[in-house]
Amino acid sequence: MMGINETVHFQGLSSAVIKKSALATGVSIPALPMFSKWLVLLVLALLVSGCGSSLPKGEMKTKSPWETFEQAKSSYDNIILNSTTTDDLQELGFDPYNTPNVRILSYLDILQRFNPNNSVRAEDLPPTVRGCLASREACLAYEATPSSSSSERVGNVVLDLLKFKRERIVTGWSFNALIVIDHNVVVYKIWNGVPMIDQKTSRKNPLGPLQNSVGSMGEGAVGL
């Protein structure tokens, strides 16, 4: 009987041997490339899941002297209007020449920040800002935007790797400070930020790894 005494090795199996086995057993076998692709994906997913391996993680951080939102806010709170000088700012960490990612704004940049659409009258600006703008080149501002965030894919490893369902959690913080300086003395400051970022996104693909292929076929059908 054909196939009983034959030894079949799956590694490096040729299409001729597959056809021969199919004829002998009467079983229809799918094309090797597609069958192998899905088999490899499934095996890898099961192996990763079984080993308890974690899903990909990422981190994005704007380099600064502050490790937390509270540290950045504390330094900002130590700035005293009409008293703190640029030398004092350097000690507090707001120094564009020694602290990464602190931007220097000219008086024209400051005007644009307070009146982006020319819809604000000069008399509506804070008095110290108006006085600073009148000083022109002696007026400048420091803008600091320290932040830290990390992202992590969570959920079912198999569903994630096969693209059926992907969930991501983003955590971190962000702080923004604008410090207006007139003749080397701070005359105005303002801040905003997010002390605690905690976001979760979820994306589902009913067709899993076939989703992109089906989308490409649809675009081709309509000539996109």
Domain assignment present for residue 221? The answer is: no
Report the alpha-carbon angle 30-36-41, nearest 5.
125
Residues 37 and 84 placed together within one structural domain of the fold: no
Whether residue 214 is contained in a domain is answered as no
Q: 120 and 182 in one domain?
A: yes
Mean pLDDT of the chain: 76
Whether residue 6 lies inside any domain: the answer is: no
Q: Is the dihedral of CA 207, 212, 217, 222 positive or negative?
A: positive
Same domain, 46 and 149: no
User: 79 and 180 in one domain?
Assistant: yes
Decide if 149 is inside a domain: yes
pLDDT, position 159: 59
State whether 85 and 182 are in the same domain.
yes
Q: Tens of pLDDT along 67-109?
A: 999 999 999 999 999 999 999 999 999 999 999 999 999 999 9
**Shared domain check, 85 and 176:** yes
Evaluate whether residue 10 is within a structural domain.
no
**Distance (Å, whole) CA 140 – CA 179:** 9
Domain C-terminal end among 53, 78, 100: 53
Short-list 134, 140, 135, 82, CA closest to 110: 140
The structure tokens listed for 87 are 């030398």
Alpha-carbon distance 21 to 220, whole Å?
37
Residue type, 125: L
CA atoms of 81 and 85, how far apart (whole Å): 9
Is residue 9 in a domain?
no
Are 29 and 122 contained in the same domain?
Answer: no
**What are the residue ranges in the chain where pLDDT is below 70?**
1-61, 154-164, 207-224
Instruction: Note whether residue 209 is domain-resident.
Output: no
d(CA 217, CA 185): 64
Domain residues for the domain of 188 are 57-204
C-beta separation of 29 from 18 below 8 A: yes
* 179 in Cβ contact with 96 (< 8 Å): no
Phi, psi of 145, deg, nearest 5: -135, 60
User: Would residue 218 count as lying in a domain?
Assistant: no
Specify the number of domains making up the chain: 2
Is the pTM higher than 0.85? The answer reads: no
Q: Could you tell me which of 167, 155, 160 has the C-alpha nearest to residue 203?
A: 167
